[in-house]
Amino acid sequence: MESGPDGRYSRQTLFAGIGEAGQIRLGEARVLVVGAGALGSVSLDMLVRAGVGTVRFVDRDTVELSNLQRQTLYAEADAEESAPKAESARRRLAAVNREVTLEPLALDLHAGNVKEVTDGVDLILDATDNFETRYLLNDAAVWRGIPWIYAACVGSYGMTFTIVPGRTGCLRCVIPDVPPPGSSPTCDTAGVIAPAVAAVAAYSVAEALKFLAGAGEDVVATGIWHLDVWERTSYRMEVGGPDPDCPACGQRDFVFLRGDAGPAAITLCGRNAVQVRPGIGTERRAAFLEELVERLAALPDVAASLRRSSFLVQFEAEGRRLVVFPDGRAIVHGSGDPAEARTLVSRYIGN
């Protein structure tokens, strides 16, 4: 750790809430950030600059031009390359702090890999854009008994919810079931501004630093914090302790962790796009993308738009743009209909 009056963390250790002892604890901590988009960009940058020892982060998507307005880790070159966010984030973060161990994972988090991805971490930060993944994180965190911090923002407002298994209620205590599609505003319908993203991420990371620096659970915020940067308002809604009737923390029935409730197609927030992933347990061969390119090149209506990079394959079909990853996932752009997306993936990529 670079110490001293002019060291990397000198101003942070002057803060009474962290100090020298807290900084040492930060350097020994392991954090998982799920999502490297808007909230993930800001959170990752702050965690790495704060000197958190190991930062693991997972993201399934690539960088696009529309991301740059609020996703601060990326540049135009990343969008032009359609680079995976996990890789672009790694490059940027590696240039920020050489003391931090980075563990980027360019994959889709699901019931088949969530136990491995969450193994060995001290805390989980939510930076996702869909409820399905959040409920999976809730199951995994409660099952492991580790804290996780829910975060969400849309328009000019957002919220955070610090969940400490055994002490606070969990996500399913508050919202027992995944809200139906269309029941909540999204980036597609309400947009989002960068100040809201930064504010929500700041709240989340502050809570994370409290845990990781050993400040104690008594200083950790309880309840759900709401804030609106446009209206300049904020308030807290109390949640209380674990509900004994909660399916997750009360009954320990982890349906999302088992994969009983996870859909194969997920509409992506703010993207007019749907991700379709192969079923859990479906293995792809190493030559999957090469074989796919060979098949698609033989289709006259597809061949002209076919592009292959070291990370993925892109092509256009039936008025939609499809992006295919080595693990078999596909993102269908230009459609918000999961049924249509699954049909196109089956037709051009296979089951």
Q: Which residues are catalytic?
A: 187
Of 87, 118, 123, the closest CA to residue 105 belongs to: 87
CB atoms within 10 A of CB 295: 13
Task: Please report how many Cα atoms fall inside a 13 Å half-sphere around the Cα of residue 93, on the Cβ side.
Answer: 31
Work out whether the CA dihedral 68, 69, 70, 73 comes out positive or negative.
positive
